Structure 1
Amino acid sequence: MEIAKPTEADKEQFKTLLAGLPGVEIKAMFGNLGAFVNGNMFAGLFGSTVGLRLSDADREELTASSETLPFGPAGRPMAGYVGLPVQDPAAKIESWAARALDHVATLPPKAPKSPKPKKS
């Protein structure tokens, strides 16, 4: 399975789109980026697609009002996420990203994984 890689411009655009949101941590993930709140991912960048984890009602509203994309590897999109091109108007993505953040912030914080024991 080939993993889509974003350009440096796509990465900078993603970071800029999420810069105004409170409590967000952006991490590198498999050559792409993920945006987290309380340890839960609410947005990600996969190639040139921004994926947003929205409530069911918000996801239905977005897919009914805009052309959306699958988010994730071809043939294995991530369930619960809807994709938008990173080149879409910033105001549109920022608005939906804020809704995704609000939704995911209501989920229980994800506990950090324990380090794996070292092999002797």
Structure 2
Amino acid sequence: MQLAKASDDAKALFASVVPDDPRVVVKPMFGNLGAFVNGNMFAGLFGERIGVRVLDESRRTELAATDGAGPFGPGERPMGEYVAAPSAWSGEPERLAEWVAQAFEDVAALPSKAPRAPKRTKR
């Protein structure tokens, strides 16, 4: 499976819409970026698309119905509960930032994700 890589412009847009909050951790993921709070991802960058985790089903349906929105992640395995924002919103960062901020607030209310145990090495 070929994974889309994010451009520097897409990374800069992503950084500009992620909330400036000490609980936010932005990590590289497969050549892209993910924004996490309490160990849970709330927004991601996949290629040139920014996706947000929308926990409320009616709001997820609302965003998915927006012209240009779609599934988020690899075409073969889109991520559940995530919607890719319309590409046209790259020219409307404040609109994109509102959805990212709402995703942050919703996901921050979830229980913290326990860190995975380190992988054991073979001897």
Is the structural similarity TM-score above 0.5? yes
How many pairs are equivalent?
120
Alpha-carbon offset, residue 19 of structure 1: 4.4
TM-score (norm 1): 0.90
Partner Cα separation in structure 2 for residue 108 and residue 64 of structure 1: 29
Cα contact 1:21–1:98 (8 A) shared by 2: no
Name the % identity.
46
Partner Cα separation in structure 1 for residue 67 and residue 91 of structure 2: 11
The superposition leaves residues 43-93 of structure 1 with CA deviations (integer Å, 9 ceiling, x where unpaired) of: 000001111001212212223444312211123211110001262410111
Partner of 2:23: 23
The range that moved more, 17-26 or 42-51, is: 17-26
Cα contact 2:90–2:96 (8 A) shared by 1: no
Partner of 2:41: 41
The range that moved more, 77-86 or 2-11, is: 77-86
Partner of 2:95: 92
Cα RMSD for the two superposed structures: 1.6
Q: Which structure 2 segments of 5+ residues have no match?
A: none
Select the residue among 109, 116, 120 that pairs with 1:106. 109
TM-score (norm 2): 0.88
Q: Residues 62-77 of structure 1: matches in 2 within 5 Å?
A: 62-77=63-78
